[in-house]
Chains A and B, each alone.
Chain A
Amino acid sequence: MKKTITIPLGSQHISLLEPVRFNFSCENEKITDVDYNVGFVHRGIEKACTEKFEYKQVGYVVARVCGLCAITHTMAYTLGIEHILNIKTNKKIDYLRILMLELDRIHSHLLCLAHTAENSGFEGMFMKIMGDRELVMDIQEAISGNRVQFDFVCIGGVNRDISTECEKLAFTNLALLDKKVDDLIGKFTSNWSTALKYKNIGALSYDDAFNFNALGPLARAAGAAIDVRAESSILPYKEVGYKMILGQNGDIYDRNLVRLKEIKNSILMCQNILSGLTEGEILVKFKGKPNGESFTRLEAPRGEIFYYLNANGTNMLQRVRIKTPTFSQIPGMVEIFKGSDYADAPAILASFDPCMSCTAK
């Protein structure tokens, strides 16, 4: 006789950063069904953005939707408002913005890799990646003045210029990191406990990636070419050397590799931007109040982020709608959990890199 056991994971668990609850129904070792509960961190940011904060303040508030992709939220909001207000930014501003977005992507991907390594029981690797990550955090702190919440982008431009010292620090640290990432790629392709163990585990096929609306590294690891950076021209990504990176099987191994290669691509983009930066204004003056609506898409570290803004000519916005990548990845995640071993559940979860405070807002 088969007996079904229900095993809860969360809402407080050592492998989880955020409160989320999974109820796994298991038969022997296999997971047969998953029930999930993501609303623990709902704060009501969308509502507050229309009632409590003026449109100039909202940029700082939406940054606190999520600490990992803070700059992406501010960026998407700012691009939307600039579209409504008809502000044209110059090249230098665009480049500085891409620089910060890519630095953020590097640190977020490294954190995810560290987490996957930890959940596969490889504590030393976790420490090593977290140590390497400090190189990016240093650049971020030198440029923006804070390690996590940058508050770097504002309506009409950016808040700070890059000094020559920062540029030098960034160059040395990025070169160092580039070498370390090469080393990590070697480890993630040949080491048993981080790589080979996870071949064909937690796989999402190419068709399923479309059926379940997968985004970001999750879809790209399955071979689906979904990336807003390639599709939209709102930021000049093509000029700075963007390259699409695709995997084949969509398992944990491929996801790790896609992330590592994207880090390499991001490092290249940052170096290109830093060497091609010119003198120029970092803030464009603007007048008037927003009136109209806008839709913005941007590629966050985890996938596509979507902002809808509606303003009616006052200081307060009418509607702010945020759709975050993790929200659309949950169906795919549930599908992968079904049929895999319970022992792999934390590692699969970590390789998704879910962000619950984004999802619940």
Chain B
Amino acid sequence: MLHIKRFLKKSPWVLHYNTGSCNGCDIEILACLSPRYDLERLGVLNTGNPKQADIFLVTGPLTHRCHDRLLQLYSQIPDPKVVVAVGSCTCTGGVFKDMYNVNNGIDSLIPVDVYVPGCASSPELIMDGIVKALEILEGK
């Protein structure tokens, strides 16, 4: 319990969830983990368990069926947590704005700390977003 906060910012683990995106931003997140961009040198590790995660990467415009799952995942991540919305459609709805089964962006449901625009956001932008999320995590 001594310096948990100090170590936290050195190795943030990310959880990734897709709420109805087109996969474009998801494969760019995967490309971020590839040798060219290699997020792991910032200590970032992709995890499948919400209880271990610090940064929540969400893609997609939030379809109605993903509604409950997103809320569940969000509430299972321990504090402090940072939510990063990756892609235009996650920030505002993008092209899917006002379609009948979507909620126009995830900020209608959970608080978002970092908005990463772009369709699809390039790995460069996603990395910028995660670096920004680290700064926010430090302050929390």
Contacts and interface: CB of A to CB of B under 8 A. Distances in A.
A126 to B, nearest CB: 8
Interface in A296-322: none
Interface of B: 17-28, 30-31, 33-36, 46-48, 50, 60-61, 63, 65-66, 69, 73, 89, 94-96, 98-102, 119-120, 122-123
Contacts of B46: 14
B20 A61 contact: no
B55 to A, nearest CB: 15
Nearest to B69: A11
Interface in A214-261: none
A43 interface: yes
A319 B95 CA distance: 19
Contacts of B27: 17, 67-68, 111, 148
Contacts of B73: 12
Given A131-B35, A134-B36, A18 B48 contact: no
B99 A14 contact: no
Contact of A148 (B98, B100, B120): B120
A148 B69 CA distance: 27
Contact of A133 (B26, B34, B48, B63): B34
A67 B24 contact: yes
A52 interface: yes
B23 A43 contact: no
Bin the interface of chain A by size: 35 or more
Contact of A64 (B26, B30, B36, B89): B89
Interface string A125-143: 0011011011001000000
Given A147-B122, A149-B120, A67 B22 contact: yes
Give the top 3 A-B pairs by smallest Cβ distance, nearest first. A67-B24, A14-B48, A130-B34
Contact of A131 (B26, B30, B34, B101): B34
B33 to A, nearest CB: 8
B22 A64 contact: yes
Contacts of B120: 67, 146-149
A40 B22 contact: no
A13 B48 contact: yes
Contacts of A48: 96, 98-100
A137 B60 CA distance: 22
Nearest to B20: A41
Contacts of B21: 41, 67, 357
A184 interface: no
Contacts of A127: 34-35
B67 to A, nearest CB: 10
A47 B95 CA distance: 13
A17 B23 contact: yes
A106 interface: no
A48 B102 CA distance: 11
Nearest to A19: B18
**Which one of A64, A66, A127 has the greatest number of beta carbons of chain B within 10 Å?**
A64
Contacts of B102: 43-44
